[in-house]
Amino acid sequence: MADVGIRLSEAQQAIVDSPEKAIVVSAGAGSGKTEVVSHRIERILRDSSEEDFRILAVSYTVRAADALRSRLEKRLGGLHRRVDAETIHSFCLNLLRQFGTRIGLPADPEILTRDEDRIELLQYWLAERGQSYAGDLSSVLIELDSARAARRSTEYLDLWRDALESRGAVDYPAILDKALELLDSSWMRRHMRRTYGQVVVDEAQNLTPAQYAVLCSLIGVPDSNYIDAMLVGDERQSIVGFAGADPELMNRFEREYHARRFSLNENYRSARKIVEVAARVADRLAIKPSVDDTVEFAASGSVNFFEAEDEVKEGSFVADWVKRLIEQGIDEGAAAPGESRGVHPEEIAVMGRTAASLRFVKSALSERGIEWVEGSAEDDWLESQPARVVVALINFLSSPSHRSARRQLADAVDVTSESSDGPGDLLAKSASPEMQALLPLVDSHNVDEFFVRLRALDIKNIAWRSDLAQLEEAWSRFSDSTDEAGRTYSNFRAHITRHQRGDIQKPGVRVITIHKAQGREFKAVALVACNEGQIPDFRAREVEAVKAEMRAFYVALSRATRQILLTRAKTRMTNYGSRRTQPSQFLAIVRI
Ligand SMILES: Nc1ncnc2c1ncn2[C@@H]1O[C@H](COP(=O)(O)OP(=O)(O)OP(=O)(O)O)[C@@H](O)[C@H]1O
């Protein structure tokens, strides 16, 4: 997203300059929300003389937080250090690491990220209490997660909280719970008020009630001297309802904090035809204000539809479309006069409502020798197995007593673990020479020495060199900002979790689900499998559920700046053989 030389519109500038303590910005896709957020942060920092007054900018994904951080870094020079750009979970986790002992957490709480580890603990804890559960424990966890996101009570909740406490562990929802408990103390609130002069929440349509509670606790109650706050979001892009998100919370904030509401109606991202089709979907979603394309956009854009006989042919058609884009650029007439038609592979996204719907495109792209990558999965920043093991090893060495850390290492090495296994045992169990080559790392005395040894390793894996460079970069960022005493495995692991899992840097066409595409921008977007049952997903039966699917459709369309291709296959392979499909009801809305 280029922001050099952008002239903000009057409506955008009004938000940047607004002196109100609380504001809500509700605006459509591509209307410049992220642009406004970074300009407003810049304006506040430049206007304030207090050196130690910081801004907390909360984003929904690690990738979005990273993107905001690097945008501010480019524009603000040294001033960007006064901004903490984080996800709400990483912010809360950091609070727990700093102050958690005040509420009885261990200094380094074990973080249970994987369901296997949670199920094992739940099973153990139920057995301890002489209880058993006949059904599938993962469904208990799903219910526990959604209850905590919604802040309602449910069966097993107290039991699960006790189980976590007994283990000195937290899972993702408990990170918020515990942060809330911490923020309950007046000392902690004072500390927040002394630290932050402004809190900004981007993608606020994705807030859950639990996150909203943390936010309110953090800034302070309405009618008090609360920390200035700005919520920015788009109700039409609310697509994580399954995770408990409630776009209504933006209105609640407006009411409770008497916030001034702003809206932005112009689309700066997409060419005319794309704005037109996205606006038809937004209108159907009937959330005001609707987008109107009053920006005079010089590019007309192009929107096309293709219906294939079957999914293999659909995949081939999309792969050929990608190939043509890379070789010849976007369609003639789709670009603005004088604008280059060239497209880099990274500016092309092939999207699907689910990952499964993308498999035919993936193989068709590979057959044509076109490089592609999946979205920004959490661990995607490292490609080779040895590098992933290195991270798992750092995790293990930072908390050798955490069972989950041992298991993660065992998984990364691809062996099974016994409770007595140390990291050396796990590496030695693997027959792979690459894993054996990592053995010298195990008994490094500290993380400095770990890195000296890491550089000296002789590993023959094509991706190792670039992964090593990534690890080195993470290390040098960390060591630049941390004094010797703070350079522990545990702090370095925390640094990696907070900063290093963002967008993938690898080259190639992006082949991603719509959910992974939120907040991003591409020159050309193909959306495959536009069939009933695929988008909308077959599980969406109620009106509300279909609307949620329509919002996903809106997110997909509104990612494109110049060109859209929608495709479907007339037949699909299912477990029961080939079946005829019906076109998605959403195609009728965009009138294709
Ligand atoms: N005033 C402006 N003039 C020119 N370009 C602009 C202006 N405001 C924003 N843009 C550009 O429009 C594009 C969309 O802006 P931005 O990413 O901030 O939108 P957004 O509202 O955050 O979108 P979404 O909600 O879809 O993620 C970006 O490329 C941005 O640089």
- For residue range 82-101, what is the model confidence (pLDDT) as tens digits? 999 888 998 999 999 899 99
- Is 513 annotated to bind ligand? no
Least confident of 129-138, 220-229, 561-570: 129-138
CA of 515 to the centre of ligand 1 (A): 19
Nearest atom of ligand 1 to the alpha carbon of 203: 25
Determine the distance separating the centroid of ligand 1 and the alpha carbon of 489, expressed in angstroms: 39
Residue 323, marked binder: no
Q: Tell me: is residue 31 an annotated ligand-binding position.
A: yes
Average the pLDDT over 304-330 and give the result. Answer: 96
**In the predicted structure, residue 293 carries a pLDDT above the cut 70:** no
Confidence of residue 289 (pLDDT cuts 50, 70, 90): very low
Atom of ligand 1 nearest to the CA of 2: 31
Strand partners, 26: 233, 263
pLDDT, mean of residues 284-306 = 70
517 falls in which pLDDT band (50, 70, 90)?
A: confident
Q: Which of 230, 212, 228, 235 is nearest to 27 (CA)?
A: 235
Per-residue pLDDT at 385: 85
Q: What is the mean pLDDT of residues 39-54?
A: 86
**pLDDT for 1:** 41
pLDDT value at position 583? 96
Q: pLDDT at position 458, please?
A: 85
Pocket test for ligand 1, best of 10, 34, 40 (most atoms within 8 A of CB): 34
At residue 577 the predicted structure's pLDDT band, cuts being 50, 70 and 90, is confident
Q: Give the number of the atom of ligand 1 that is nearest the alpha carbon of residue 7.
A: 1
Q: Residue 434 C-alpha to ligand 1 middle, in angstroms?
A: 45
Give the number of the atom of ligand 1 that is nearest the alpha carbon of residue 9: 1
The arrangement of strands across the sheet holding 522-527 comes to 302-308, 560-569, 522-527, 348-352, 509-513, 372-374
254-258, 417-421, 459-463: which has the highest mean pLDDT? Answer: 254-258
Q: How far is CA 203 from CA 35, 241, 292, 387, 528, in A?
A: 13, 13, 21, 32, 25
Task: Tell me the percentage of the chain whose pLDDT exceeds 70.
Answer: 94
pLDDT of residue 138: 86
Residue nearest to atom 1 of ligand 1 (CA): 8
Interval between CA 202 and ligand 1 midpoint (Å): 13
CA-proximal residue: ligand 1, atom 26 (nearest): 29
pLDDT tens digits for range 181-228: 999 999 999 999 999 999 999 999 989 999 999 999 999 988 888 999
The reply to whether 27 sits in an annotated binding site is yes
Q: Among 106-120, 228-242, 250-264, which range has the highest average pLDDT? A: 250-264
Residue 544: predicted pLDDT:
84
Q: Which of 269, 516, 557, 561 to mutate to test the pocket of ligand 1 (most atoms within 8 A of CB)?
A: 269
d(Cα 337, Cα 299) in Å, to the nearest integer? 7
What is the DSSP secondary structure assignment for residue 522, as one 8-state letter? E
Res. 461: pLDDT tops 50: yes
What does the pLDDT read at residue 498?
66
pLDDT greater than 90 at residue 361: yes
Position 189 scores a pLDDT of 92
Q: Does 523 show up as a binding residue in the annotation?
A: no
pLDDT digit string, tens, across residues 47-73? 887 677 899 999 887 778 877 887 888
Ligand 1 centre distance from Cα of residue 237 (Å):
15
Q: Which long-range contacts (CB under 8 A, 24 or more apart) does 578-581 make?
A: 578/310, 581/531, 581/532, 581/533, 581/534
pLDDT at 478: 85
Evaluate if residue 383 carries a pLDDT over 80.
no
The annotation status of 30 as a binding-site residue, yes or no, is yes
Cβ atoms of residues 48 and 76 within 8 Å: no
* Mean pLDDT of all residues in 130-145: 87
What does the pLDDT read at residue 499? Answer: 62
487 CA from centroid of ligand 1 (Å): 39
| Residue with CA closest to ligand 1 atom 25 | 29
What is the distance in A from the centroid of ligand 1 to the CA of 183?
34
Q: What is the whole-number distance in angstroms between the Cα of residue 522 and the centre of ligand 1?
A: 12
Give the span between the Cα atoms of 2 and 203, in whole angstroms.
20
- pLDDT for 153 equals 93
Q: Tell me which residue has its CA closest to atom 8 in ligand 1.
A: 32
Query: The pTM is what?
Result: 0.79
pLDDT at 269: 84
User: Which residue has the CA at smallest separation from atom 9 of ligand 1?
Assistant: 32
The answer to whether the annotation marks 33 as part of a ligand binding site is yes
The pLDDT value given to residue 135: 83
337-342-344-348 Cα dihedral, nearest 10 degrees: 60
The 3-state DSSP composition of the chain as helix, strand, coil percent (nearest 5) reads 50, 15, 35
Query: Among the ranges 132-141, 209-218, 569-578, which has the highest mean pLDDT value?
Result: 209-218
What's the token pair of residue 135? 């059904």
Mean pLDDT of 560-588: 92
Tell me if 130 is assigned to a ligand binding site: no
Cβ-Cβ contacts under 8 Å for 13 (sequence gap 6 or more):
none
Cα 30 to middle of ligand 1, angstroms:
5
Q: Is there a contact between 483 and 457 (Cβ–Cβ < 8 Å)?
A: no
Atom in ligand 1 nearest the alpha carbon of residue 36: 18
Give the per-residue pLDDT at 376. 52
Least confidently predicted of 253-267, 468-482, 496-510: 496-510
| pLDDT of 567 | 97
Ligand 1 pocket check: which of 35, 297, 515, 551 to mutate, most ligand atoms within 8 Å of Cβ?
35
pLDDT over threshold 80, residue 12: yes
Q: What is the mean pLDDT of the chain?
A: 88
Query: How many percent of the chain have pLDDT more than 90?
Result: 52
* 8 DSSP assignment: P
- Residue 379: pLDDT band by 50, 70, 90 thresholds? low
Are 299 and 272 a contacting pair, CB within 8 Å?
yes
Q: From ligand 1's centre to the CA of 552, what distance in Å?
A: 19
Ligand 1 site, CB within 6 A:
1-3, 6-9, 12, 27, 29-35, 234, 268-269, 519, 521, 558
Residue 510 has pLDDT above 90, yes or no: yes
Tokens 């399954």 belong to which residue?
242
Ligand 1: residue whose CA is nearest its atom 29: 1
**For range 387-391, the mean pLDDT:** 91
Interval between CA 269 and ligand 1 midpoint (Å): 6
Q: How far apart are alpha carbons 206 and 232 in whole angstroms?
A: 10
Instruction: pLDDT band for 431, please (50, 70, 90 cuts).
Output: confident
